[in-house]
Each structure stands twice: as C-alpha cells, then as structure tokens.
Amino acid sequence: MSELAPLTGAEAGAEPAVVPALPHLLNREGAILEFNRRVLAQAQRDDVPLLERLRYVCIVSSNMDEFFEVRFADFLEAYRQGGSGVSQRDLHSVAAEAHRLIDDQYNIFNDEVMPALQREGIVILNHADRNEAQRQWVDQFFQRQVRPLLVPVGLDPSHPFPMVANKSLNFIARLGGRDAFGRANGIAIVKVPRVLPRVIRLPAELAPGQQAFVLLTSVIRAHLGELFPGREVEAFSQFRVTRDSDLEVDEVDVTNLRQALRTGLTTRHFGQALRLEVVRSCPEELSEFLLEQFGLPEAALYKVNGPVNLVRLNQLIDQATDVTSGPALRFQAHEPTWPQGRLPREASIFSVLRRRDVLLHHPFESFEPVVQFLREAVADPDVLAIKQTIYRTGSESPLMEALIEAARRGKEVMVVVELKARFDEEANINWAERLEAVGAQVVYGIVGLKTHAKLLLVTRREGHQLRRYAHLSTGNYNPKTARLYTDIGYLTADADLTGDAEAVFQQLASQTKTRPMRAFLQAPFTLHRRIAQLIDRVAEAARAGAPARIVAKINALTDVQLIEKLIRAAQDGALIDLVVRGACVLPPGIPGATERIRVRSVVGRFLEHTRVLYFRWGAREEDEVLYLSSADWMSRNMFRRIEIAWPVRDAALRQRVIDECLVPYLHDQRDAWLLQPDGTCQRAAGPGPSAQQALLQRYAPG
C-alpha cells in the first residue's frame, strides 16, 4: 500500500498495561450541526469565489431544513417517548447550538458575503435603497406578477388561522381600523405562492454598472398596505414554519406501498411544526401569536436578520453573470474526462469488460460511460435482460428513459425502485409507474428495509452461454449529482461479482434465501459482522506486533458496536485513520483511549460521498483487503437497509483507489478538518494541498 500519513502516539504493537474504559461517545445531533459549521466556514474563505461562498450559505440553510424536518423531529420524539437516553438537557443543548449556528450564518451572510459581492457590483436592493425608476419598475412587477396571486386572509371565527405548508413563505400583519364589515379583526395572514420567484433581477438599464436584484419579500413588504385598502398595517413580519416531513407508512398493514406513499405525499407538507422563523424586527406579540398557533415553545422561535429562507438565494447565483474584469465569481468550470485510455469511446464496453474491469472516479471522470453502458445494452440484440436498483435518480434521467426503451424492445427489465428514498419519493413513484406501463417488472424492495445498494446488471447471450456484466457504485444513478459528488463506479464482468449481483436481484424479487455470496458483503446479513471481524483481525495483528492499519472513508460513523471495535483495536496498537464527511460520534485523540485514532473531514468544492474501507493485518500482500461500499457505518445502514460492499481484487485498481481516495485525503491541508476529543473541529494547519484540487489537476484534459 502507498505510504499513508502516520499517526502520532504509540506505535503499532505497543501493548497497553491496562485496558482503559471506553470513552463517552459524542452527541449525534451535535455532530451533524458541527458538520454544518464546517460547510458554513467555506463561506468565509477568501480563496473561494464569491458566488460559491454564497452557495455554501444556501447549502447550510438547506441542510438545516432537513435537520429539523428529519433529525430533530426524531430526536424530539425520542425525548418525548422516554427511555431513549435523550434528556431535556440534551434537547436544550442541541436547540441552543442550532440557534448559534443560524445566528452565525446570518452574520456571515450580512457582514461578509454580501458586502464582498457588493464590491463586485452584485447588490440586493431593499426598498429604501431603490431609486425612483427602480421603485416604479418594482411597482409594475408587483401589480402584474405578484398582486393577482396574493389572497390575504383576515382572521376571525369564520376565517381561522390557515393551514401553512412546510417551508412556505408567509406574512403576518397587525391591522388598524376596521374591515369592510365594520369589524376590528386585527390579524391577517398572506400566503405567498411557491410559483413566484424569490429573487428578481432588475433590468440592466436601471442599475448601470451593477447586477441589481430585489427579493420577493422586499417587493411584497413595500406593497403590503395595498393588500388592505382602508386599513393601516401597524406591524408585520415574514414567517416560515418547518415541519416533520418524514413519511410514516406502516408497510405491514398497507396492501399497496406505492399508493400509500402517494397519499402520504399530499399530507407531508403539514406535519408537526418544529421550528418557526420570523424576521428580527417581528414584534413580540406577533411571534407569540404564531407560536401559539403552531403549538411551539419559545425555544422553537428563530428570529433571523434577513430573509427567512436563505436557500432561495440560489436563484441569485443562477442569474448572476461573471464579469471579464475582477475576480472569478464561480469555480472554474470542470468538464469530467472520458477514460479514453481504459475505455475507448469507439469500442464496445462489453468487449473491454471481457478483458478487464474499469473503475470510474466521479466527478473527475465522466458519468457518461455508465449511461453509454446501459444504452449499449438496450441497443444490443444479444442482451436479454437488464436489472437495476434506483434510489435517487432525479425527475429527469437518461438511465430511466433507456430502461423504458429496453422494455419497449422486449428485453426483460427488472427495476428495484426504492419508494422511501426521502424527498425523492414522488420522482421514484412516477418512474415506477412509467416503467410498469411499458411492461417492466418493478419491485419495491423488502418490507421494513430500504434498498440503498447501487447495482446495474446486464445479461447477454454470447454463443451458447449467457454472460453477465455489471456496474456497481458507491453513489446514485443520477448524472447531475455525479458532477457534484465524489463517487466510485465499477464496471465488471467478474463472475463472482456479477453472480452476487444476480443473487441480490433474485432475493429482492422473490424474498427467498440465496446462496452464500462469493464476494459481496450484504446488509442486513453479513456486512456488519464481516466489518467487525476485519477490525478484530487487525487488532489481533497489532497485539502480535505485526503491521496493523485501518483506513475508512465514509459519510457518517454512528454505529456503537463498530465504534467500540475500533477503539479496542486502537488500544491494542492498531493505527486508525477515519475520513468522515459528516456526523462522527467517536471522540479521537483521548490519551489512553483513542490516541491512535485520527478523524478528519474534508469539505471542499465537491460533496465527499465515496465509501472506501481498507484493512491491513500483516506484511504480506495477501494481508490487506479493500472494499468499496454503498453503506455508511450507521446502524440503519447495517441493519435496516439493503447495502453492499465489494472487494477490489485487481492489484492495480486497488492501488489506484488507495492513491486517489485515501492518500490525498490523509494529506489534505486545505479542505480538511480534524475532529477534537470534545466534538469540535479544527481546520488542518499548513500550506499543503487540497485532495480535490490535486485530483482535478490529475484528470485535467491534456
């Protein structure tokens, strides 16, 4: 294996005199918030282009929405049920940290990002900032595009507080005077339709030398009084409520999971309220009124210094244009390369795979070979069957269109569609219905388990025999995210790998036992147990004084059993490096307990998504193994999902994974953060390289 960054502390094989107790693990929700702090820190980096800094602010908003919709909702439910170990102190601690993070986010947005953009001529104009010509244009926009879609509701016994959808934009107003019927109903609600743009660019002639934008909230605020003729708007605020958005479907009792989920989608937007956002200037009486309407405590109120939904500022990023003078406002465009030397464009992919496996490293290498692999299978008359799992593929997908075409051509098409892929349920249901309409066999996995494995299997007639070809992946079959996420795709005709893939599909369709896997590790059956055994094997080697090394690159580490195994292996003398993008509850660097464990997180231009597992328990070549996987080290992945991990047996490909997915990340000094024993993170110090930048340079054209 290539040289990896050494750990400080005792060397492998050092036998501790006393086996120390296991340390207390970190709080998972706190670890998620700490990850978002690392993302937010990207918005403060001078070496990140300004529009990309704004994008990181938006990403944090999106992440925090999901945190409340899913993670905090589960956390709160665990506290209410009791017996889960979640105390009131834990609840208050997490809520307080969420408040601090969001306050910091708005401070960075207002005090750092927007002033820097303004210096480059990109401005957001409030009503007070707009000149007379700009105000006239905004007024015309309001009258033509906005006013006809707004229906204010004055509250009284026959007009109760309206149903407010999750994350929708709304206004609350306190009104003076009397309504058309002579009554003094003082509170009104204005719901803002989602179809209206949240960011509007002014015509260039109205802002010479600038790129000027106005926010929809500012437009409505400037004209709020016009919605209530004859009355005075005495006080007002934007507001937004975040709700529990996890779809709860009793899979045991329902007879049609697809129909049950489609029904659930209609009510998802009106789950239990969890967070209320208002602007900082919102009068206390209005915020208290809203808290009462949503049944929320004071701690659930977030008074923000700006728009209540920063994620919508992605619309500004999309509309802004780069200028020829001045610094670049976006990352330099990257076009993923086609692996021409290993997979010639003009060659049949099947013919290449008969000679060797092909490994693709996204987004540095193109996802297009995967699409081409499927399209070649669709067009090939000798291909008899195509099977694929679908988790997140998007509402537009060339792969799904290819599968539909394959079914139309009479090929046997089986698609395992995971209907419970959170926030992708509707897109997956639509694809499932389209596939069924052309005769494809569609199954929805196993009751109680999500199908998260990424598999594409092609069966082809070659002479008098059938031969299988497969694509295995650490990431989703989504060409758009393949340009933004780091992942490994593996094209192969290896009989063990393709045979195991066939066994998984048979299992998912028939729900019967399969033969033992020859190469795959599969959750919920063997994956967790085998990883635990490999950790134990490394620990045994450490106790014997042999080379003992574990390197895992994953997105999350929260499984208690595996964490305890890692800690014991480190105490036995194994050297352990963990590259964990998101939540990690293992506290590294505790003297006498976890001092041989180092945990780092890399947050850069691309979202780290690759899962690579490396174990070494001796000095011989056969004393190491490397797996690629669809699974993170979380209990849900190990026991409540269909996941796979597969070995990279080819020595050259294994070394390539080590050289590209492990070594650069262990040496990263630009985008890396080091997890501390208390759960906070410190940026790696030093002038060293960025792993992602090094890979971009490695795969640059020419």
Give me the active site residues, please.
452
| Element housing 421 (H / E) | none
Token representation of residue 471: 């694509």
- For 67, 200, 219, 243, 290, the CA distances from 170, given in Å and listed in that order, are 21, 18, 13, 15, 11
What residue has token string 């990431």? 475
DSSP class of 72: I
What residue has token string 């395992």? 416
Report the SS3 class of residue 554.
strand
Q: How many CA atoms lie within 13 A of 500 on its CB side?
A: 21
Check: CB of residue 353 under 8 Å from CB of residue 491. Answer: yes
**3-class SS shares of the chain: helix, strand, coil, % to 5:** 40, 20, 40
Check: CB of residue 80 under 8 Å from CB of residue 17. Answer: no
Token representation of residue 595: 């001092």
Check: CB of residue 677 under 8 Å from CB of residue 591. Answer: no
Question: Taking Cα atoms as reference points, which of 693, 666, 701, 678 lies closest to residue 1?
Answer: 666
Query: Which H, E and C letters describe 576-624, residue by residue?
Result: EEEEECCCECCCCCCCCCCCCEEEEEECCCCEECCCEEEEECCCCHHHE
- Cis amide linkage into residue 148, ω under 30° from 0: no
- For 362, 528, 635, the CA distances from 562, given in Å and listed in that order, are 28, 8, 9
Task: Compute the distance between CA of residue 503 and CA of residue 170 in angstroms, rounded to an integer.
Answer: 51
Task: Compute the distance between CA of residue 201 and CA of residue 416 in angstroms, rounded to an integer.
Answer: 43
- For 600, 604, 654, 683, 700, the CA distances from 668, given in Å and listed in that order, are 10, 11, 21, 10, 19
Task: Compute the distance between CA of residue 361 and CA of residue 610 in angstroms, rounded to an integer.
Answer: 9
Check: CB of residue 341 under 8 Å from CB of residue 141. Answer: no
Q: How far is CA 36 from the centre of its chain?
A: 12
Task: Compute the distance between CA of residue 633 and CA of residue 613 in angstroms, rounded to an integer.
Answer: 11
Check: CB of residue 589 under 8 Å from CB of residue 529. Answer: no
Phi-psi region of 36 (alpha: psi -120 to 50; beta: other; left: phi over 0): alpha
Which residues are paired to 521 by β-bridges? 645
Q: Checking DSSP bridges between strand 273-279 and strand 232-243, what pairing results, if any?
A: antiparallel
Task: Compute the distance between CA of residue 617 and CA of residue 613 in angstroms, rounded to an integer.
Answer: 14
